[in-house]
Amino acid sequence: MTIHLTAAIERFPIAGSFTIARGSKTEAVVVAVQLEQDGLVGRGECVPYARYGETPESTLAAIDALAPALSAGLTRADLQKALPPGAARNALDCAMWDLDARRAGTSVAALTDLSLPQQIETAYTISLGTPDAMADAAARAAHLPLLKVKLGVPGDVERLHAVRAAAPEARLIVDANEGWHGDDLPVLLDICAHCRVELVEQPLPAGQDAALADLDHLVPICADESVHALAGLDELAGRYDAINIKLDKTGGLTEALAVVQRAEELGLQIMVGCMVSTSLSMLPARLLASKARWVDLDGPLLLAEDRPDGLVYRGGEIGTGPSGLWGG
């Protein structure tokens, strides 16, 4: 009955490059976890994020350090206390859910009483670039229902107008990645409203949320970097209209479910998001789709190649069928 842990850093080339206000990258670096018990294998994946002080090496070390505890019977409830919210706990938590479902001969959806919608529309990300480059990318993706536009540096007004002109019928989300300033925010939000943007993610740096409390705005504002897990969530009510739940921030599906419940109690709308990663990261997050007004799980679409048995994407929709990769 002993659980055997295997974890490794893995790299997946990005198709081209991926650029946000904090920089560019050409590969997704993930930490993959396998938990094996009696011939059954549970899998998980996480994306260490330097913005939160994580590296692939430190994340792998934190996971490997729990190997003796896992062999001794560490439970998922124990895991929530053994590691803080973050990438390392996410990979292990999701692997434990997967293993639990396989041992029970059922799916993680059944264990959590969550059901997938018949259709799941996902945002597709338009990487930060020049107005012309972003317009070209938006034109190629204009047939998709929802585009997420990366902004957060000088020249955003021109970028947004260029994208809207190139994709006049697409729904738009804007993600400033903490790159806007309070003095400019009213004007930028008015321009977003004019361009029919339906959500603005994290316009101000985390920690400057108080400035949003008395701000009149037509477009809903969503917290991303300002919200990680349950701790601090209540303080965001009245400042944000929505929160972006990412399993790499909550530390896995277990706390994400608790965050969903509390957000609903606080009247916060829900977006479920991801880092650039494979379907092994998307599948646990996909379970939250029925709770979310916005779904942004396009990570595999940004890769040159996904894992085998990954999710199927068609026309901006995520396949809802079972997967042998994770979750049953």
Q: Among the options 148, 150, 249, 291, which is catalytic? A: 150
| All residues at 6 or more sequence positions from 81 whose CB lies less than 8 Å from its CB, including other chains | none
Tell me which amino acid residue 321 is: G
The span from the CA of 166 to the CA of 130, in Å, is 14
Q: Can 291 be counted among the known catalytic residues?
A: no
Q: Which of 176, 117, 169 minimizes the C-alpha distance to 141?
A: 169
Given a contact cutoff of 8 angstroms between Cβ atoms, the answer to whether 273 and 125 are in contact is no
Tell me which of 148, 246, 249, 291 is the catalytic residue. 246
Distance CA 102, CA 91 (A): 17
74 neighbors 65 (Cβ within 8 angstroms): no
In this structure, what DSSP letter does residue 237 have? B
* CA 289/CA 120 separation, integer angstroms: 7
CA distance 304 to 26: 10
Torsion, Cα of 75, 77, 83, 87 (10° steps):
90
Active site residue 246: yes
φ, ψ dihedrals at 255, nearest 5°: -75, -30
Whole-angstrom Cα distance, residue 143 to residue 132? 18
- Looking up tokens 């479910």 gives 257
Which residues lie across from 245 on neighbouring strands? 272
What is the tally of helices (H) and strands (E) in the chain? Answer: 11, 14
Q: What is the DSSP letter of 303?
A: B
- CA dist 89 and 74 (Å) reads 13
Q: Which residues are catalytic?
A: 150, 246
